[in-house]
Structure 1
Amino acid sequence: MKTYKIIYILSLLLFVSCEKLLEVDVPENQIPNEAVFETVQTANAALSELYAGLWNSSPIAGDQSGTLLGSYTDDLTFYGTNSNSGLAEINLNQQTESNTTISTYWASAYRLIYLSNAIMEGTEKSVSISSADKERIIGEALLARSILFFYLQQLFGDIPIPTSTDYQLNQSLSRTPSATVLAQLKDDLAMSVTMLPDTYRSSERVIPNRKVAQLMLAKIYMLQSQWSQAENLLKLIVQNPMYQFENDITKVFLKSGNHIIWQLKPKNSGDPTKEVNIYYFINAAPSNYALSQNLTNVFTVNDKRKAQWTTAVTVGTNTWYRADKYKNRTNNANEYSIVFRLEEAYLLLAEVLTQQDKIVEALSYINATRQRAQLTALTMPISKQSLLNEILLENRKEFFTEMGHRFLDLKRLGRLNDLLITKPNWQNFHMLWPLPQKELLLNQNLNPQNSGY
């Protein structure tokens, strides 16, 4: 009963902060942090609420991570007719500061950042939780907050970085420059690495471990062109015996795979993943998202990923392709939404090795996914730039509709303006989204708006 009370109060905290994102009032019936976090069980309940929020509405939720950034780039086409959602404008690169979807994306992330801060503060103040448990609980919350800040920084650039639940401070925060945000993320993730164990708290890998923190830290190093540091971290992942490359392409999206680094569990037992519901259509034209023609054209005839992870839907003389990575629409017993999998560490490692001119070693990591898809292995001689091009293409074919990969990969490589070829409305300033108008009105310190909006 106590656990349910804690979850209720944490949910109330988030509800109160919905309308004024960084202007969070103290709930009248909030109980003291020392009571909320009086045992490991109640602290873990708070973390469970955080993970539920990540699954339900966050930059890594199945209906936000892959869809928004996939359609914003050139992997997805949006066919919906809801003129008030803002989704069509994102797909057409015509978003404005009043776009409701962008506002929701921002608000959802900051609500969970607030919850992460509440968990860290409450745990730190607890007098009954052991030091070892405190370290692990704070490490998990710090990792979740870092992931949220990472996506916000990639999409909005300079952002406010609230690190406490002090509503009087948070309501007037200014934006922190991107370089400083990345520096803080590096420090926070490095701390999380020291606080988390390699062993999973859940055998289903639905709670992140140290390797998740190391993967995120490697991504920050890559954004800072610190290739050798990223290489060291990525090798700790790919060489760890907990993880094994999945050679059967039909099993990549099953929840039991040893290639899974972290995944999110549906709300209720038997529920499908969000990806299944959002991408599914049959015997009719798509009314939501379909794979873009530009994406389907990059697959060669013999690439098994097109046959296994996409499905053609033909109506009359028209054919569309839907993403079909997750299969279970009802009575789902074997699929969770994968956030990170070993293949990502492989391709990131191939990239950092290539950046250091370690071409021969890099080939083995990109060839793993290529050969599983029945493509021929890349061989020497191959130039550094040609291999980077191949790695970018391999990421696209391997990770379409997953975690915003296409946008993040293009941005990391400084190639977002490649979209000028495939997206008629793309302009240079579209590398960032506009800050939500209502947030600028609530807090004048968030000005100025991003250039171009």
Structure 2
Amino acid sequence: MIMNLKIKYGIAVSIVMMVLSMTISCEKMVETDYPNNQIPSELVFEDEQTAEAALAGLYSGLWETSMYSGGINGMGALLGTYTDDLTCVYTSASNGVLDLYINQQLPTNTAVTALWASTYQQIYYANSIMEGVANSKSLSVAVKGRIRGEALLVRSMLYMDLYQIFGEIPYTATTDYVINSKLSRMPKDEFLTRVETDLSEAVNLLPSAYRNSERIYPNKYAGYVALAKMKMLLKKWNEADVICTTIVQAPGLSYQNDISKVFQKTGGHIIWQLKPKNSNDATKEASLYNFTSAPTSFAMNPDLVNSFSTGDLRRVHYFTAVPFGQQINYKPAKYKNLAVNNATEYSIIYRLDEVYFMQAESLLQQNKVSEAVVLINRSRQRAGLPALSTNLTVSAAMVQLKEEKRREFFTEHGMRFFDLKRWGMLDGLTSVKPNWKSFQSQWPIPQKELLVNPNINPQNNGY
């Protein structure tokens, strides 16, 4: 969290060495001007190898403990149970998740506090990388630009999604502790403009080619996806439409027509994915949602299960019925490989399917119904369902888009929450979430943050 981070000048050795397994020479660790457990940024970025190591640490953190992690601290689980993707079966409220499920979170909620803190830690790390790149005297212009582009994209994504969860939040582009300790919440319009500008810069800096064939690092088209999301948040529908067209037409990207391969790591539909920490590790999603008798953490919300028609192939490929006694629970099963036997799955951040839905929504907002319905039909027909008529009204097509998107993207990085919020439909959760209140469209600012830095006051309404 930005208010009490102690690192001011460099990147922690523990991050560089333990997370990245990189070797730093002893000579670089004797600089007397820095704490013993830190490496000055200019040393970390004196060559491309160490700069890449620092950047890899950012991605490792995203996979391990971030809002994009597929585990218990990620948006897929937290926002999935907060809305109507998942039911929570934890018997203790100690991890804060149960209170999110019953919509009774407080400013002291541990899950809320942890998400805020980990996100700002990663924002800090991204800022440190960008500062190190800017100060490096040995990296080439091209390498500097690409590394800055990747770090800037990650930071922008973190800001954009954190804003949608908490409302107005602090924005910082520095690692200076004195500045960060006094930040206040940036007004909405200024904040969104800055993040939109940052995303545009990231897109311009990122190369079109992937620097790894497994697409475990973002390229220009991953940047375009994030930028299109921002345009939709700002209701710039034509601009979002144009960006989505650019993505769909990108060389190397192709729609996955085989529903059994949607969550396999080798598809041309994958725009960006995160590699597990160790080779053949299961994805965090596969581990978190797996149960063979009674569920231990989450199960699919019955309302979601009942939204699938009998012939929908996603009933077979995206979730699994688990009988236990007289009851049947359903577990998300998009990712299937468990333990150390996973050779086929990474955790997907962006897939082309989402771009089709983003463009369809942007088209409907421009009254281009027939074009939008063609895009919606891609996922329906892959799931074995009949195509929708292209003669639907705008409102009828929008209803179909909303229902189809819920069935296609449940548990994927909080997409359901963000969609409902953009559509002004969060209050509709009262049909399945009796404790839901309108003010809960935003989470409370963690009490710990308000105590450390009173400039972040006032607390969000209702808390």
Which bracket does the TM-score occupy, shorter chain normalised? over 0.9
Q: Is the 8 A contact 2:264 2:344 kept in 1?
A: yes
1:183 to 178, 190, 193: 193
Report deviation, 1:242: 1.1
Q: 1:429 to 1:271 in 2, by over 3 A?
A: same
User: What SS class does the counterpart of residue 328 from structure 2 fall into?
Assistant: strand
2:214 aligned with 1:209, yes or no? no
Q: Equivalent residue for 1:219? A: 229
User: Offset of 1:59 from its aligned partner?
Assistant: 0.9
8 Å contact from structure 1 (residues 395, 405) kept in 2: no
Provide the alpha-carbon RMSD of the alignment.
1.6
Residue 126 of structure 2 is aligned to residue 121 of structure 1: no
Structure 2 letter corresponding to 1:60: Y
Q: Does the aligned pair in 1 maintain the 2:145–2:205 contact within 8 Å?
A: yes
CA 446–240 in structure 1, closer or farther in 2 if over 3 Å, else same:
same
The question of 1:155 aligning with 2:165 is answered yes
2:58 corresponding residue in structure 1: 50
Contact 1:6 1:42 in 2 (8 A): no
Match of 1:22 in 2: none
Q: Structure 1-normalised TM-score?
A: 0.94
Instruction: Provide, for residues 361-387 of structure 1, a one-character-per-residue CA deviation record: whole Å limited to 9, x for no partner.
Output: 111110000000011111132111111
**Equivalent residue number for residue 41 of structure 1:** 49
* CA offset digits 1:70-109 (Å, max 9, x no partner): 1000110000123211110000110000000111101110
Asked whether 1:280 is paired with 2:290, we answer yes
Give the deviation of 1:185 after TM superposition.
1.0
- Is the contact between residue 175 and residue 446 of structure 1 (CA under 8 Å) also seen in structure 2? yes
Equivalent residues of 2:270, 2:348 under 8 A apart: yes
Runs of 4+ in 1 over 6 A off after TM superposition: none
- Counterpart for residue 329 of structure 1: 338
Q: Which runs of 5+ in 2 are unaligned?
A: 1-9, 20-33
Instruction: Report the Cα offset of residue 178 of structure 1.
Output: 2.5
Counterpart-to-counterpart distance in 1, 2:13 and 2:57: 9
Q: Any gaps of 5 or more consecutive residues in structure 1?
A: 15-25
Instruction: Write the distance in 1 (CA, Å) between the matches of 2:428 and 2:207.
Output: 40
Partner Cα distance (2:38, 2:436) in 1:
47
Give the conservation status (yes or no) of the 8 Å contact 1:157–1:177.
Answer: no
Q: What is the one-letter code of the residue matched to 1:349?
A: Q
Q: Is the 8 A contact 1:242 1:258 kept in 2?
A: yes
Deviations 1:347-406 (CA, angstroms, capped at 9, x unpaired): 100000010001111111100000000111111321111111111111110011111111
Q: Could you tell me which residue of structure 2 aligns to residue 20 of structure 1?
A: none
Aligned counterpart, 2:301? 292
- 1:311 is matched with 320
SS in 2 for 1:368: helix
More displaced, 258-267 or 232-241?
A: 232-241
Equivalent position of 2:4 in the other structure: none
Q: Which amino acid aligns with 2:417?
A: F
Structure 1 Cα separation of the partners of residues 244 and 41 of structure 2: 37
Displacement of 1:8: 2.6
Structure 2 contact 88–298 (Cα < 8 Å) conserved: yes
- Aligned pairs (5 A) from 1:32-431: 32-63=40-71, 64-282=74-292, 284-330=293-339, 331-431=341-441
Number of residue-to-residue matches in the alignment:
437
| Partner residue in 2 for 1:8 | 13
Q: Residue type of the partner of 2:194?
A: Q
Kindly indicate whether the alpha-carbon contact (under 8 Å) linking 1:309 and 1:323 is maintained by their aligned counterparts in 2.
Answer: yes
Q: Percent identity?
A: 49
Q: Report if the CA contact (8 A) 1:7-1:46 is conserved.
A: no
Q: Distance in 1 between matches of 2:184 and 2:11?
A: 32
Are the equivalent residues in 1 in contact too, given 2:70–2:283 (CA < 8 A)? yes
Structure 2 distance, partners of 1:88, 1:27, is 40
Query: Could you tell me how far apart the structure 2 residues matched to 1:44 and 1:10 are?
Result: 13
- Contact 1:13/1:27 (CA < 8 Å) preserved in 2? no
Amino acid of the structure 2 residue aligned with 1:82: S
Q: Give the Cα separation in 1 of the matches to 2:290 and 2:40.
A: 45
